[in-house]
Amino acid sequence: MYSQMAQQEGFSVLAVDAFADVDTRQAAQQVYQWPGLYEQATNDHMAALFEVLESFEPDAVLVGSGFEANQAGYAALLARYTVPGNAAEAINRANNPQWLKACCDAHGVQSPLVTHTRPTAGQWLYKQAGQCGGAHVHDWQGASTEVEQGYWQVFQPGQAVGILFLAHAQTYQLIGVHALRQHVGSYAYAGATRLHDDALKVAASQLLQALVPALGLIGINSIDAIWHENTLHVIEVNPRLSASMRLYCDLPLIQAHIASCQAEAMPALQPRDGFASHCILYARQTINVSQLSFPNWLEDQPSGGNIAAGQPICSIYADGDSEREVQLALRNKKTRLETLWGTYVCDRIEFNIH
Residue 269 within any structural domain of the chain: no
pLDDT at residue 330, rounded to an integer: 97
Same-domain pairing of 121 and 187: yes
Nearest to 79 by CA among 69, 71, 91, 90: 71
When pLDDT is averaged across residues 54-62 and rounded to a whole number, the result is 96
Q: 76-120 pLDDT, tens per residue?
A: 999 999 999 999 899 999 999 999 999 999 999 999 999 988 888
Same-domain pairing of 8 and 85: yes
CATH of the domain at 70: 3.40.50.20
Same-domain pairing of 145 and 225: yes
When pLDDT is averaged across residues 248-273 and rounded to a whole number, the result is 89
Band (pLDDT 50/70/90 cuts) for residue 253 is very high
3-state class of 44 per DSSP? helix
When pLDDT is averaged across residues 61-88 and rounded to a whole number, the result is 88
Residue 344 within any structural domain of the chain: yes
Same-domain pairing of 252 and 282: no
Residue 268 within any structural domain of the chain: no
Residue 267 within any structural domain of the chain: no
d(CA 313, CA 331): 17
Supply angle C-alpha 320, 133, 205, rounded to 5: 60
Same-domain pairing of 41 and 161: no
Same-domain pairing of 6 and 114: no
When pLDDT is averaged across residues 260-286 and rounded to a whole number, the result is 90
Same-domain pairing of 8 and 78: yes
pLDDT at residue 145, rounded to an integer: 61
3-state class of 59 per DSSP? coil
Q: 107-164 pLDDT, tens per residue?
A: 999 999 999 888 888 899 998 776 666 666 778 775 556 666 789 999 999 999 999 9
Residue 146 within any structural domain of the chain: yes
- C-alpha distances in Å from residue 85, one per residue of 55, 64, 193: 22, 10, 25
* Listed residues 58, 90, 122: the one ending a domain: 90
- Write down the pTM of the prediction: 0.93
Across 155-309, where does the E strand assignment appear? 159-168, 171-182, 189-194, 219-228, 231-238, 275-283, 287-288, 306-307
pLDDT at residue 89, rounded to an integer: 92
Same-domain pairing of 104 and 139: yes
Bridge partners, 138 (sequence order) = 126
114-115/150-154 β-pairing: antiparallel
The domain containing residue 183 runs over which residues?
A: 91-262
Same-domain pairing of 156 and 250: yes
Same-domain pairing of 234 and 281: no
Same-domain pairing of 135 and 224: yes
**73 or 329: which leads in pLDDT:** 329
Helix segments in 186-240, DSSP class H: 198-215
Domain count across the chain: 3
